[in-house]
């Protein structure tokens, strides 16, 4: 009996790992949905401006990358991706503040070092356990 229970537990765990960890779904979600989310409103600094795929100003630091992952368990892919996106933008804002910059410009998706430039969408990859967003941009005044 104990062997049967152990075997069932092992099989169940293996099934969870196979279905949960192996998925890597690419999504393009709206930047506006993420930036207007309750999480973004309570987390991001409105004094540090963010410009996607464009921008001008005196560049202080060029080509910075933020690669953020978040727990995707018990969340929709979009919810997990918004969380990772906001975390990445927050890191850029902190870097801007530390460098004396007033804005982040030319911000693009940069997942697995593959550029995706859009003024309206960001790229996110979601699995059963983890979702991730990578952004690349410049700090400017």
Report if residue 8 sits inside a domain: no
Report if residue 131 sits inside a domain: yes
What residues make up the domain containing 53?
24-140
Number of structural domains, the chain?
Answer: 1
* CATH number of the domain within which 71 lies: 3.30.110.70
pTM of the predicted structure, to 2 decimals: 0.84
Report if residue 11 sits inside a domain: no
Residues 73-90 have a mean pLDDT of 98
Report if residue 90 sits inside a domain: yes
Report if residue 126 sits inside a domain: yes
Q: Report pLDDT digits (tens) over 84-139.
A: 999 999 999 999 999 999 999 999 999 999 999 999 999 999 999 999 999 999 99
Q: Which residues pair with 64 in a beta bridge?
A: 137
The CA-atom distances, in angstroms, between 38 and each of 70, 86, 127 are 17, 10, 23
């Amino acid at each position: 009996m104990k062997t049967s229970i152990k075997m069932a537990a092992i099989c169940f765990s293996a099934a969870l790992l196979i279905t949960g960890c192996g998925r890597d779904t690419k999504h393009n979600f709206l930047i506006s949905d993420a930036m207007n989310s309750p999480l973004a409103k309570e987390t991001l600094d409105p004094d540090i401006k963010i410009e996607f795929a464009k921008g001008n100003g005196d560049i202080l630091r060029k080509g910075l990358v933020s690669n953020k992952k978040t727990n995707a368990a018990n969340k929709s892919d979009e919810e997990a991706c918004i969380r990772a996106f906001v975390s990445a933008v927050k890191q850029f804002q902190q870097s801007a503040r530390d460098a004396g910059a007033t804005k982040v410009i030319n911000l693009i998706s940069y997942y697995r070092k593959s550029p995706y430039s859009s003024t309206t969408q960001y790229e996110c990859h979601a699995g059963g356990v983890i979702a991730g967003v990578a952004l690349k941009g410049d700090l400017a005044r």
